[in-house]
Amino acid sequence: MENIKDQEKCWNELAGTKEFPTPFSMKKFEKHVTPRMKVLDVGCGYGRTLNELHTNGFNNLTGVDFSVAMIKRGLKLYPYLNLIKNNGENLPFPDNEFDSVILIGVLTSNVTDIEQDLLLKEISRVLKNNGILYLSDFLLNHDQRNLKRYAKYEDKYGIYGVFKLPEGLILRHHSIKHILELTNDYDNLLFEKTIFRTMNGNISNGFYYLGRKK
């Protein structure tokens, strides 16, 4: 598998131009997390979700992203946000620090089961007991364009649903079963299938998940 440095480089190259359209559901989030709670956005990109939270009165907000260019763009757009460069392997926070962690469109570019497990373990470490995980990402699609690329890259990467974009990014679309296994340490509060527009203007199956740390 291409290494994390290559993925980081790709995201840095995309940071000046890409808009992330995956909607954040404030309504679903606010059912479980209140504005005074401490929230961490992992793979925060240019900070659009944290800014939406800020606009809605949340004021204890932190974001991490391994792309320095994303962090720079975020700090330029929203200088009041606390955005930190970090790749999620060792989050620079103590255990049980946050009331909620947000992870939107990040699993998709950490494609192996091992990378995803480690990321979720590290998130669970910094999340308080009963803390809320808000997770949103892409699901497997069944149209010809996707079926073709899943088949093309399955032999190379050994995982069905992984493919490579012309920009160089390696991405993964997930089965629902995989997402539910990955979030085994959480009580499932919500799993909702939806359709997202992607950063390249295509449409894809996706989901919203909310879980409470056991």
Ligand X SMILES: C[S@@+](CC[C@H](N)C(=O)[O-])C[C@H]1O[C@@H](n2cnc3c(N)ncnc32)[C@H](O)[C@@H]1O
Q: Which residues bind ligand X (CB under 6 A)?
A: 11, 20, 22, 43-45, 48-49, 64-67, 70, 87-88, 104-106, 109-110
Q: Which residues pair with 205 in a beta bridge?
A: 195
DSSP state of 210: E
CA distance 40 to 38: 7
DSSP symbols for 150-197: HHHHHHHHSSTTEEE-TTS-EEE-B-HHHHHHHTTTEEEEEEEEEEEE
DSSP symbols for 105-135: S-GGGS-SHHHHHHHHHHHHHHEEEEEEEEE
Whether residue 171 contacts residue 202, with contact meaning beta carbons closer than 8 Å, is answered with no
Closer by beta carbon to ligand X, 21 or else 155: 21
3-state class of 22 per DSSP?
coil
Closer by beta carbon to ligand X, 134 or else 186: 134
